[in-house]
Chain A
Amino acid sequence: MSARVGTYLAAPVMAFLIALCVTPLLILFAYSFFRVDFVAISYDPSFANYAKIAGSATYRGLILKAFGSGALVAAITAVIGYPVAWFIAKRAGAMKSALLTLLLVPLYSGDLVRVFAWRVLLGAEGVINRSLIWAGVTDAPIQGLLFSPLATHIALTYNYLPFMVIGLWLAFESLDDAWLEAAADLGAKGPSRFARVVLPLTSPGLIAGGLMVFVMVVGDYLTPQLLGGASGITVISAINDLFGTAFDWPLGSAIAWTMLAILMAFFALGAVLIRRSSLVGGA
């Protein structure tokens, strides 16, 4: 069967999938210009909801917090992910598939199981605090370990590290060792080799992994809610409240679309960067 026939056969399926994904988003987009009157939507288009977001320190702050967390966790996972991915791709040898499987195990355990595991570790009566008290490092448990931004970001890092590692691992797999040898041959020491050769040539993996981590952190409201304590609110849970409790679908839609627009801008930027680097990537 020729590729062309395949394309024609796939077209209806693709169209269906696109319609399925895009239609709800378009409905949300339309809602974002309406107004809610108790439980009735008033179809009277305006930019009032977007103005409300722009004028609200709360929603601006929450959006900024979401993207800040996404960027921070993406950066931390990159720092941890580079040596791990390098080791798996270049040094693990026969253990490679075992390590990759091991890396994915936490993903199968389910969100809640992981959250409760972190509570057992970080809680006031948790493993770490008990050990610290036993060792005499501290007299009273460190409350800030759990129900704090620290706990949230530790768990987020743990949750999404595999996606960064996989992105980088794929990039390392196609990184020819000869490039590293050539760089060393030309006088570049370790840090310089990383900056001038490894980083640019693995950047597609870094960008892809980073975007995945970023998007998933931005969308994760459960981890901050269950581990972040009193300050665990996220823009996503605020959107949930607006849709559920407050029945303010228009404002919820407007925030959702603001988030979506920013995320799409990030994706477009990522796509441009990946395309640019893959133009030169691969010998």
Chain B
Amino acid sequence: MPLLRARALCKTYGTVQAVRGVNFRLDENSYVTLLGPSGCGKTSILRMIGGFEEVSSGLLELDGAKLNDVAASARPVNTVFQSYALFPHLSVLENVGFGLRYKGVGRAAIREKARAALETVQMGAMADRRPRQLSGGQQQRVALARAIVNEPRLLLLDEPLSALDRRMRKDMQIELKDLQRRLKMTFLHVTHDQEEAFALSDRIVVMRDGIIEQQGAPDAIYRRPETAYVADFIGGAACVPGRIASQAAEGYRIETALGQFAAPGVAGLRPGAEAVLCLRPEQLRIDPEGPIAARVTHVVYRGAEWLVELEAAGVALALTTAHDAIPEIGADLRLGFDPAQVWIARAETGEAAQ
């Protein structure tokens, strides 16, 4: 039995449909990320699970029991809020011990457990401070301790790292993953940062406009995007529109403005169907013998490499290249790629089958 199951879950605000009938499940002891741009409905899903928003229609089940009408205070679920929402009038220790009172824990035991939780997030030394005396990263850790000390069945994290600087974010990512493994708890983490999602997740749920585009293991999402949207959003791939010509041994033959190519792709495409050829920057290379003629439009320095943006037969492409081979803007080049490494995805959007 999955820990949590969502069936045909919907959320509407007035006439706006924020979540439009999504289905997903969370397994025990897993780290799952809801990934998507702002406004895609991921936060609404989190808030419905937390009990802060009513479910408009559909079903939420926790451990097989309906969760829809259970008050937030009665759910075995705790949340790390985006703004941390630490109580400013209470000390760090009191913040962490806040929820234990409702679990029938004695006064002395509350202090002990709260201290232990603070040690877990390396904040033991700050127990007597007030939240406003802490840095953002420290507040983040306290918020985490305040949630996990209650030993919830499910921990919800609402963009928890978005207010941190890049360096701190990297450190916290490692710690979060580590913490989840140690506690053997299920974490549901909402983010718009795909790098963060890859670093943390056992499973990623990619959302767009209130529906799920694709869900699965990070590697599968990256290598085998089911839709043009996922290919673009996750891998930054250029999606060259085309039409399936025929089935091929390891995939399909696809007809595009750049020519006809044979490549592996998502299952279920029929000849004549619209599809896209996904070309990620690291898959394209400059090759005088290559099949694609392109002209350089921009060159962007990215530290470890250069990103070269090009245009070929009206299609925008990009590739990465090393320092010693930087083409001029306006130069005509020929490009090539290994067809076995690229991927053909559906052109249209729509919730993927589970």
A interface residues, Cβ below 8 angstroms from B: 176, 178-179, 181-189, 192, 196-197, 200-201, 277, 279-283
Contact = CB atoms under 8 A, between A and B. Distances in A.
B89 A281 contact: yes
A192 B98 CA distance: 11
A178 B72 CA distance: 13
Given A189-B73, A277-B89, A178 B81 contact: yes
10 contacts: A179-B85, A184-B71, A185-B77, A185-B78, A186-B73, A201-B89, A280-B130, A282-B88, A283-B84, A283-B86
A166 B351 CA distance: 49
B133 to A, nearest CB: 10
B225 interface: no
B51 interface: yes
Given A181-B72, A184-B71, A187-B73, A283 B88 contact: yes
A186 B78 contact: yes
B167 interface: no
A189 B74 CA distance: 9
Interface of B: 50-52, 71-74, 77-79, 81, 83-89, 98-99, 101-103, 130-132, 146-147, 150
A201 B81 contact: no
A189 to B, nearest CB: 5
Contact of A197 (B50, B87, B150): B87
10 A-B pairs with the lowest CB-CB distances in the bound complex, closest first: A186-B99, A187-B102, A178-B85, A182-B85, A184-B72, A200-B89, A280-B89, A280-B88, A185-B79, A184-B73
B98 A183 contact: yes
A183 B88 CA distance: 12
Contacts of B86: 182, 283
Contacts of A282: 88, 132
Given A187-B101, A187-B102, A188-B98, 9 more contacts: A182-B87, A184-B71, A185-B77, A185-B99, A192-B102, A201-B87, A280-B132, A281-B88, A283-B132
Contacts of B102: 186-188, 192
A176 B147 CA distance: 19
A186 B99 CA distance: 4
B146 A186 contact: yes
A279 B74 CA distance: 32
A181 B80 CA distance: 11
A189 B101 CA distance: 12
A187 B103 contact: yes
> Which of A178, A184, A185, A196 has the most chain B CB atoms closer than 10 A to its own CB?
A185
Contacts of A185: 50-52, 72-73, 77-79, 99, 147
Contact of B83 (A178, A186, A188, A201): A178
A189 B76 CA distance: 14
A187 B81 CA distance: 15
A201 B79 contact: no
A42 B98 CA distance: 64
Nearest to B82: A178
Given A181-B52, A185-B72, A283 B89 contact: no
A201 B146 contact: no
A270 to B, nearest CB: 17
Nearest to A282: B88
A200 B147 CA distance: 22
Nearest to B131: A283
A188 B73 contact: yes
B81 A181 contact: yes
Contacts of A200: 89
A186 B83 CA distance: 16
A264 to B, nearest CB: 27
A192 B102 CA distance: 10
> Which of A186, A188, A279, A280 has the most chain B CB atoms closer than 10 A to its own CB?
A186
A196 B52 CA distance: 19
Nearest to B133: A280
Contacts of B146: 186
A186 to B, nearest CB: 3
Contacts of B130: 279-280
Contacts of B78: 185-186
Contacts of A277: 89
Nearest to A179: B85
Nearest to B50: A185
Contact of A201 (B71, B88, B99, B131): B88
A148 B227 CA distance: 78
Given A182-B79, A283-B132, A187 B85 contact: no
B43 to A, nearest CB: 12
A176 B85 contact: yes
B237 to A, nearest CB: 37
Contact of A176 (B73, B83, B99): B83
Nearest to A188: B73
Contacts of B79: 181-182, 185
> Which of B88, B98, B102 has the most chain A CB atoms closer than 10 A to its own CB?
B88
B53 to A, nearest CB: 10
B71 A186 contact: no
Contacts of A184: 51-52, 71-73
A91 B51 CA distance: 19
> Which of A184, A197, A279 has the most chain B CB atoms closer than 10 A to its own CB?
A184
A94 to B, nearest CB: 13
Contacts of B85: 176, 178-179, 181-182, 283
